[in-house]
């Protein structure tokens, strides 16, 4: 087809067009129908997304920002385990040829009474743990429970335990600690176990003979496989924890936070 043929066809088509006032209302109605279809499609897609992700907030629906639908940013709910705790080893060593170790088990806070009942049953079977402050399973709902274990030559003892609100944290320079013997029957309080806020960079343990041990943040194990004494991050806990052993022949006198993050 030549350019001349195309021009003639366009002229014939123009002859059949009636020129008049633009059908304004029809155009408006058509535009409204198209916008309504776009809103319906967008809303349908968002609702389908909600069915797969759990929850989606819709913004910019009709009457909002130009008919645009924007799903809000959502985060997956925090995973909660009621079947086993988070285990963190705090310190370990060998003295007089005998192994010792300190570890902490942190149980996530159950959300419902049923979860709390299930968790309480598992606790008793896990390592014989049972929170002394809990009288009914309901007492565990919304609370994190922790047990600190001291193991000496295979003798496993719970030396600290508590249930606290799941967002509980030790503030600033405050420190919570317990002094005890390295063995169940030892009298000198040589082993100090404590918790500090996450801003603590340094803790100093003071001994009765006038010496002291300075602890800093550490992670992992030393070259010999032992856990170096220091301040450690504990999974499941809002605080950091430490274990500090006095030299033989002396005992615990005091412990303080002596350095904070800038």
Span 48-60, pLDDT tens digits = 333 433 332 323 3
pLDDT of residue 6: 54
Rounded CA-CA distance 64/84 in Å is 48
Overall pTM surpassing 0.75 (yes/no): no
- Mean pLDDT of the 71-93 span: 72
CA nearest to 200, candidates 169, 227, 221, 246: 169
Distance, in Å, from the CA atom of 194 to the CA atom of 179, rounded to the nearest integer, reads 9
Q: Which helix or strand (DSSP H or E) is residue 100 part of?
A: strand 98-107
- DSSP character at residue 171: -
Sheet holding 240-245, edge to edge: 175-180, 191-196, 240-245, 231-233
DSSP 97: T
**Tokens for 48?**
């389908």
Q: Compute the distance between CA of residue 101 and CA of residue 57 in angstroms, rounded to an integer.
A: 49
Question: In the chain, where are the structural domains located?
Answer: 3-71, 86-260
Structure confidence by residue, pLDDT tens digits, 178-219: 999 999 889 899 999 999 999 999 999 999 999 999 999 998
Phi/psi of residue 108, each to 5°? -60, 155
pLDDT value at residue 68: 39
pLDDT digits (tens, 9 = 90+) for 109-140: 999 999 999 999 898 888 778 888 788 899 99
Of the candidates 171, 170, 172, 190, the one whose C-alpha atom is nearest the C-alpha of residue 180 is 190
Query: Number of helices (H) and strands (E), helices first, in the chain?
Result: 3, 13
Cα–Cα dist 230/151, whole Å: 18
Q: With contact defined as beta carbons under 8 Å apart, do 217 and 182 qualify? A: no
DSSP 137: G
Give residue 226's pLDDT: 73
Helices (H), the chain: 3-15, 24-53, 113-126
- Asked if residue 250 has pLDDT above 60, the reply is yes
């Amino acid at each position: 087809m030549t350019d001349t043929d195309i021009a003639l066809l366009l002229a014939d088509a123009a002859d059949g067009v009636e020129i008049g006032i633009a059908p304004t209302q029809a155009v408006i109605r058509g535009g409204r129908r198209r916008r309504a279809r776009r809103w319906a499609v967008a809303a349908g897609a968002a609702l389908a997304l909600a069915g797969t992700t759990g929850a989606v907030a819709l913004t910019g629906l009709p009457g909002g920002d130009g008919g645009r639908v924007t799903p809000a940013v959502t985060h997956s709910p925090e995973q909660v385990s009621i079947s086993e705790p988070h285990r963190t080893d705090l310190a370990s060593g060998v003295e007089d040829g005998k192994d010792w170790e300190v570890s902490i088990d942190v149980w996530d806070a159950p959300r419902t009474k049923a979860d709390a009942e299930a968790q309480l049953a598992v606790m008793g079977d896990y390592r014989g743990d049972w929170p002394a402050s809990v009288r009914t399973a309901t007492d565990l709902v919304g609370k994190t429970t922790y047990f600190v274990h001291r193991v000496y030559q295979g003798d496993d003892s719970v030396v600290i335990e508590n249930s606290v609100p799941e967002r509980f944290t030790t503030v600033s320079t405050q420190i919570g600690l317990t002094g005890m013997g390295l063995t169940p029957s030892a009298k000198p309080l040589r082993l100090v176990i404590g918790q500090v806020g996450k801003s603590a960079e340094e803790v100093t343990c003071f001994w009765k003979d006038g010496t002291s041990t300075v602890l800093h943040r550490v992670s992992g194990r030393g070259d010999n496989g032992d856990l170096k004494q220091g301040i450690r991050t504990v999974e499941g806990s809002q605080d950091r924890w430490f274990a500090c052993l006095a030299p033989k022949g002396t005992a615990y006198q005091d412990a303080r936070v002596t350095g904070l993050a800038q």
